[in-house]
Amino acid sequence: MDWENMKEEISPEELGSLLFSCADRWASRDAQSPGFLESVRASTVDKDNLTQELLIATMYAAMNVVMRKIEAEDKVFRVLDSMNNAFINRWKPEDRQKVQLLIRIRYNEYEDAQSEKRGPNQLWPLSHHILKNFLGKEMIGETPLDAVTMTSIAAYYSGRLIAFDEVVRNLRITS
């Protein structure tokens, strides 16, 4: 049986919107969860900033899955443009350029973190940068580096990778 043909068909733009919808739902839910807030030591931070940063980190996970799972480069860009535009278009027109810049800055920061070689595993530097942004710190040296918090963030990020992988695996992207 050809399982590939049994998958639901979706356009790259629809997939991007779907991925954003998932990221938004998960980030909004988790930013309100006392268990999550405690696990990342963010119980006292600005909830709006935390939700925004959590959403961007979650979208970064989606971006990594899309880049790994979708072979056609043009489709990759269409999916990611659609996902990022769904986030950017939520803002007032006068704020959209700043939000677009913030996404680029965070994605670049997280990409650079993934190439850092420090800590007990490859997600340690990424987790550190995500934590810094959750807590609203300007300098990475100010963030707490306890193993429990860093492990919680790494596990959360890994969970999002798995969830997005499941979404993408069950769909067939059309032209």
Q: Is the residue at 2 inside a domain?
A: no
> What's the distance, CA 101 to chain centroid?
16
The pLDDT of residue 1? 42
Q: What angle do CA 39, 18, 68 make, to 5 degrees?
A: 75
The pLDDT of residue 46? 86
pLDDT means per 10 residues, the chain with 175 residues, are: 68 97 96 91 85 96 97 95 96 95 96 88 91 84 81 95 96 89
Q: Is the residue at 5 inside a domain?
A: no
Q: Is the residue at 1 inside a domain?
A: no
Range of the domain at 154: 10-169
Q: How many CB atoms lie within 10 A of CB 116?
A: 13
Distance CA 136, CA 18 (A): 28
Q: Is the residue at 4 inside a domain?
A: no
Q: What is the reported pTM?
A: 0.92
Q: What is the tally of structural domains in the chain?
A: 1
The pLDDT of residue 119? 80
Contacts with 165 (C-beta within 8 Å, 6 or more apart), sequence order:
65, 69
